[in-house]
Structure 1
Amino acid sequence: MQNETSNVWLSEPVYGICRLSLLSLYREPVVGSGLTSQLLFGELYKVQRKTRDGLWYFVAGESQAGAGWMLASQHHDLSADSFDVFLQSPLHITTAPISKVIWEKSQVLLLPGSQLHAGNHEFFDWETLFSFEGSSRPFSKKADRTELVNIANTFINAPYLSGGRSIFGLYEGSWMHLVFKIAGYIIPNYLSQLLTSGEEVGLADIQAGDIVVFGNEQGFASRAGLYVGDGQMLAIQGKVRLSPFDPDKWISAENKSKQLQVLHVKNLMGS
């Protein structure tokens, strides 16, 4: 009997856009398998393969939003031309805990990091073409370090969720990705990819807005936090929370034998 969940690679990519408040991506095309990431309203993706029964699509989100299996019934199809228009059009990124938009005559709730495209065929002009209630900022505007920290603070108390990518559940990589996306930057969505991203600055030169990657005694990355200045760090410990972090103490030799070590300090904002 043929395995209906085996992969069928597509000869040509299929394009899509998330038209749900939150669209979950899974490790396997099976109900109940673990999350790998989630897509937010307005985020673009490419379908790379599908199951033989056509019920699941494996997709890769644009701008490093993550990849995984989604239900085919949640797919919103785009032509290649429309996909390119969306890809190149100016973006506004939502910032309010909950925003609202009227799309196809129905209200959709938007979570922080959702995308609104300013294309000719999409819903901008803001005031005349659609009803938007909430707050947003243009993606093209790069935040400074103070604004980046303020954006990160809006996620305080968001719970931990492996593979989650919204205020209802986050893990280190997805939280960093969302904060930086809202601030106008694209960084990797997965913790392992942060190791080779950005500029290595070291603890002696750390600034507010830098990412600290921690590892175990074997040197494998296990946690990350955002340094916010004044000896404080935002990190996920059950939830996003503020905790003390004194760079000078971590530089000292007494910390090098601890199970939790600082592996990298990264500037992901450029010069």
Structure 2
Amino acid sequence: MQKEKSSEWPLIDAFGICRQTILPLYRRPTFDSAMVTQLLFGECYQTIGMTSDQQWFKILHEDTGLQGWITTQTLKEIPGADYYNFLNRDFQVVTSPIAAIEYLGTNLYLLPGSRLHFSDLELFNWQDHIGFTGSVRSHAIKADRSQLIDIAIKYVNAPYQAGGRSIFGLDERQGFELIFSIAGYSWKSGKIPGRKIDPELVLPGDLFIFRELEKKQVNYALYLGSEEVFWMDNRIKVSDMSEWETFLRSRKDKQVELETRSILS
């Protein structure tokens, strides 16, 4: 049944998968709307609504918990059994800045975080069968601190883009979520995993989280060791701690909070 006073029709038990390099999700069913997030190749979603003319579909990306609208041309449906199978088994996640796969008779470029639904337990070497070029890691194996930092460094100089999840444009919060996800750590939107630690005990791969409580704005910095941090200042950069601290002191909010958090065990 159509929602009252709305052109949106709800859907249930409908599922899809991203089959392009980047799939933008919009806040409303129009290209003039703000971009909420982006899906990468191989990421799955639930289809939860559509416009009455069936030109736009509302989807839920379960990994991040974010919802948005995509066009009917970009909708790629899959059976529910495949959806839950993809979510609950291991897969390969792209780690190289640019990878490529033969798809529908052509080369499709893949970005870090893209997913290939093969596990390390396959009885054959899947890379020999699908024409893949690039580097991947098993999502089921959690990265160590050095590997996490290697993943993060690939995003240095990525410009800020609201809702962005790629080396061509990165949302600060979603970017850090993506980096940890590539490393095998689940970080749903707004729910940071791990535990608080004493700042004096910080190790490479730990997070500094700076919150402006009045503005409800959050800034992140990944500690790299040797007093260096990885953070966003209109673009992703690496600097010494003092530069990041100077940036924080320039903030106007009088109610602030600094948390140090270890996500890796």
Q: Which TM-score band applies after superposition, normalised by the shorter structure?
A: 0.7 to 0.9
> What residue is the counterpart of 2:235 in the other structure?
239
Structure 1 position 182, deviation (Å): 1.6
- Bigger drift between 198-207 and 34-43 goes to 198-207
Instruction: Report whether the alignment pairs 1:9 with 2:5.
Output: no
> What residue is the counterpart of 1:21 in the other structure?
21
Instruction: Report whether the alignment pairs 1:264 with 2:259.
Output: yes
Question: What CA distance in whole angstroms lies between the structure 1 residues aligned with 2:5 and 2:253?
Answer: 45
Instruction: Report whether the alignment pairs 1:228 with 2:224.
Output: yes
> What residue is the counterpart of 1:166 in the other structure?
166
Give the alignment's Cα RMSD to 1 decimal: 2.7
SS of the residue corresponding to residue 13 of structure 1 reads coil
Structure 1 position 197, deviation (Å): 3.6
> What residue is the counterpart of 2:129 in the other structure?
129
The residue identity in structure 2 corresponding to 1:226 is L
SS of the residue corresponding to residue 29 of structure 1 reads coil
Instruction: Report whether the alignment pairs 1:96 with 2:102.
Output: no
Runs of 4+ in 1 over 3 A off after TM superposition: 257-262
Instruction: Report whether the alignment pairs 1:149 with 2:149.
Output: yes
Question: What CA distance in whole angstroms lies between the structure 2 residues aligned with 1:23 and 1:70?
Answer: 8
Percent identical among aligned pairs is 32
Question: What CA distance in whole angstroms lies between the structure 1 residues aligned with 2:128 and 2:146?
Answer: 33
Q: Cα deviations across residues 184-205 of structure 1 (Å, max 9, x unaligned)? A: 11112x4xx14x5421114222
Which of 184, 206, 211 aligns to 2:207? It is 211
Quickly say closer, same or farther: Cα 1:177–1:105, change in 2 above 3 A: same
Size of the aligned set, in residue pairs, is 255
The answer (yes or no) to whether the contact 1:37–1:66 under 8 Å persists in 2 is yes
The answer (yes or no) to whether the contact 2:206–2:263 under 8 Å persists in 1 is yes
Q: Cα deviations across residues 19-51 of structure 1 (Å, max 9, x unaligned)? A: 000000111111121111100000000011111
Structure 1 position 52, deviation (Å): 1.2
> What residue is the counterpart of 1:57 in the other structure?
57
Question: What CA distance in whole angstroms lies between the structure 2 residues aligned with 1:162 and 1:89?
Answer: 31
Unpaired runs of 5+ residues, structure 1, are none
Q: Cα deviations across residues 194-236 of structure 1 (Å, max 9, x unaligned)? A: 4x54211142222221221212363733311211122111111
Quickly say closer, same or farther: Cα 1:96–1:205, change in 2 above 3 A: same
TM-score, length-normalised on structure 1?
0.85
Question: What CA distance in whole angstroms lies between the structure 1 residues aligned with 2:5 and 2:118?
Answer: 40
Structure 1 position 55, deviation (Å): 1.1
The answer (yes or no) to whether the contact 1:213–1:221 under 8 Å persists in 2 is no
- Bigger drift between 75-84 and 33-42 goes to 75-84
The residue identity in structure 1 corresponding to 2:57 is Y
The answer (yes or no) to whether the contact 1:43–1:62 under 8 Å persists in 2 is no
SS of the residue corresponding to residue 179 of structure 2 reads helix
- Bigger drift between 35-44 and 178-187 goes to 178-187
The residue identity in structure 1 corresponding to 2:263 is L
The answer (yes or no) to whether the contact 1:20–1:108 under 8 Å persists in 2 is yes
Question: What CA distance in whole angstroms lies between the structure 1 residues aligned with 2:6 and 2:99?
Answer: 37
TM-score, length-normalised on structure 2?
0.87
The answer (yes or no) to whether the contact 2:186–2:193 under 8 Å persists in 1 is no
